[in-house]
Chains A and B, each alone.
Chain A
Amino acid sequence: MAQLRAHGIRAHLPTGFEGRIFRHNAEGPERSHAVAHFATFALPTEVGDFGGGAVTLMRDTDIFAVLFEYGPESLGTPLFAHEGIPKELSPEHFAPHVLRRGLKGQAGTQWFFTENGRPFTLYIVLGSYARRRALVSVVNRLLAQLAVEVSVQPAPAGPGWN
Chain B
Amino acid sequence: MVAVCVVLGAVVALLAVLVAGLLRSHADILKALHDLGAGVGDPLDGSGHQGHAGVHGAGSRPAPVTFTMGPPLPPDRDASSAPAIAGVTPTGDALAVSPAGSSGFTLLAFLSTGCASCAGFWDAFRRPADLGLPMGARLVVVTKGPDREIPGEVAALAGPGLSVVMSSDAWTDYEVPGSPFFVLIDGDAGRRIGEGVANHFDQVAELVRRADIDATAFGAGTRADRTVAMDGPERESDNDSVLRQAGILPGDPSLYPTSLEDLYGPPDARMPLSRTGLGQAS
Contact = CB atoms under 8 A, between A and B. Distances in A.
A31 to B, nearest CB: 16
Contacts of B104: 42
Q: Label chain A's interface by main secondary structure.
A: strand
A20 B95 contact: yes
B95 A19 contact: yes
B101 A4 contact: no
A18 B96 contact: yes
Interface in B84-107: 84-86, 88-89, 91-98, 100-104, 106
A3 B88 CA distance: 11
How many interface residues does chain A have, given as a range? 20 to 34
Nearest to A16: B101
Interface residues of B, number: 24
Interface of B is mostly: loop
A6 B161 contact: no
Interface string B2-30: 00000000000000000000000000000
Interface string B161-172: 111000000000
A74 interface: no
B187 interface: yes
Contacts, number: 71
Contacts of A2: 84-86, 96, 98
A90 B97 CA distance: 27
Interface string B114-149: 000000000000000000000000100000000000
Contact of A42 (B86, B95, B106): B106
A85 to B, nearest CB: 17
A46 B93 CA distance: 14
B86 A3 contact: yes
A22 interface: yes
B96 A17 contact: yes
Interface string A4-34: 1111010001011111111100000000000
Nearest to B161: A45
Interface of A: 2-7, 9, 13, 15-23, 40-43, 45-46, 59
Question: Which 5 residue pairs across A and B have the least CB separation, nearest first?
Answer: A6-B94, A42-B102, A2-B86, A16-B101, A22-B93
Given A4-B96, A6-B92, A23-B93, 8 more contacts: A6-B88, A6-B93, A9-B94, A15-B98, A15-B101, A18-B101, A19-B94, A21-B95
22 contacts: A5-B94, A7-B94, A9-B94, A13-B86, A13-B96, A15-B84, A15-B98, A17-B84, A17-B101, A18-B101, A18-B102, A19-B86, A19-B95, A20-B96, A22-B91, A22-B94, A23-B93, A40-B101, A41-B103, A42-B103, A42-B138, A42-B187
